[in-house]
Amino acid sequence: MDPDTVAKAFVEHYYSTFDTNRAGLVGLYQDGSMLTFEGQKIQGAQNIAAKLTSLPFEQCKHSITTVDCQPSGPAGGMVVFVSGNLQLAGEQHPLKFSQVMFHLMPTQGSFFVFNDIFRLNYA
Amino acid sequence: MDPDTVAKAFVEHYYSTFDTNRAGLVGLYQDGSMLTFEGQKIQGAQNIAAKLTSLPFEQCKHSITTVDCQPSGPAGGMVVFVSGNLQLAGEQHPLKFSQVMFHLMPTQGSFFVFNDIFRLNYA
């Protein structure tokens, strides 16, 4: 399958999980996975899921604006850059232009998130 | 040296080169390097440098807002996420929140850019 199609499908699956079953994100990371969330560094699937499920909002809806993808080297991974909006329940305006950099690595016919860097853009 | 320090030094060197000697960027890429520039895919150091030197502005000044860095796996690379402003000569306001994802790979005691994804944020 075309890498762009794979990347887009992964990103859609990731945010669908985030918006409907956030604790399920733990299955998309592994022990060596890293998350840098607004400058805070977190390692390991359990710690990353604990961070993402403890964010100070319950309901949210991600809308993806752009997905860019490139193969990342001989190991079969790919780097993916995502921008979009994050709508929180009870907030009138979405948080604009959140950005995520994912480095996906292959695992048993699928991918897991090895690197994850998140930044909000305060316009 | 601390990876964050290496990443920050690389990013400062990259934008200093971009702002003062753009053609010199060719030395920071290799033949397998990839650039996705606002969705356009370009491969190879020569083609990437040709794209960056043909952008429709002569003078520019990058200001870095954030640099996030993580090791990218056993090959000794690192993923780097940069956000910042781009001031063009003759424009009153900077273009805000341009973002770049770099995947740096080691080469002879230094690094080159293997993956490069650029997006402007239109606020």
The CA distance from B28 to B52, in Å, is 12
**Model confidence over A48-64: pLDDT tens digits?**
999 999 998 888 999 99
Token pair listed for A112: 């897991």
Chain B residues with CB within 8 Å of chain A CB: 34, 36, 39, 41, 66, 68-73, 75, 77, 79, 81, 83, 96-97, 99, 101, 103, 105, 114-115, 117, 119, 121, 123
Helix (H) or strand (E) holding B48: helix B45-53
Q: Domain span at residue B92?
A: 3-121
**Model confidence over B3-38: pLDDT tens digits?**
899 999 999 999 999 999 999 999 999 999 999 999
The CA distance from B29 to B35, in Å, is 10
Q: What is the CATH number of the domain that holds A94?
A: 3.10.450.50
**Between B121 and A117, residue with greater pLDDT:** A117
The CA distance from B30 to B48, in Å, is 10
- Contact assignment for B97 to A123 by CB distance below 8 Å: yes
If you ran DSSP here, which 8-state letter would residue A19 be given?
Answer: H
pLDDT at A97: 61
pTM attached to this predicted model: 0.90
- Contact assignment for A83 to B99 by CB distance below 8 Å: yes
- ipTM for the predicted complex comes to 0.88
Tell whether the model's pLDDT for residue A18 goes beyond 80: yes
Smallest Cβ–Cβ distance between B114 and the set A41, A73, A81 belongs to: A73
**Model confidence over B73-111: pLDDT tens digits?**
888 899 999 998 888 888 888 876 677 889 999 888 888
**Model confidence over A33-43: pLDDT tens digits?**
999 999 999 99
Smallest Cβ–Cβ distance between A79 and the set B103, B121, B123 belongs to: B103
Domain tally, chain B: 1
Contacts of residue A41 in chain B, CB cutoff 8 Å? 70
